[in-house]
Amino acid sequence: MAKAVWNGAVLAESDNCQIVENNYYFPADSVHAEYLKQSETHTTCPWKGCKLRFGNVHVSGLRHCRMLNVCAMPLTLYKRAL
């Protein structure tokens, strides 16, 4: 099982992650949203060409800015387009 952990908090965990160029994509239902806050910063996904919004992580009073990317396009749709 893959886990994303920061400052002792499990941010996401799943047996169904997709790995693309050493980046782990966790299914939305495996992410513990109570630690995440959307950032106003965004970029474009180099693999999908879609807009990515960055997310900030908040755990025990500490914040890690732009630690994660949030993309509305599922990776399965991207793979089918290849």
Residue identified by tokens 């952990």 is 5
Nearest to 11 by CA among 38, 37, 33, 39: 33
Evaluate whether 19 touches 25 at the Cβ level (below 8 Å): yes
Confidence of residue 14 (pLDDT cuts 50, 70, 90): very high
Whether residue 13 is predicted with pLDDT greater than 80 in this model: the reply is yes
> Mean pLDDT throughout 8-28?
86
Provide the pLDDT for residue 9.
Answer: 92
Residue, of 70 and 59, whose pLDDT is higher: 59
| Model pTM score | 0.71
Q: What pLDDT score does 40 carry? A: 78
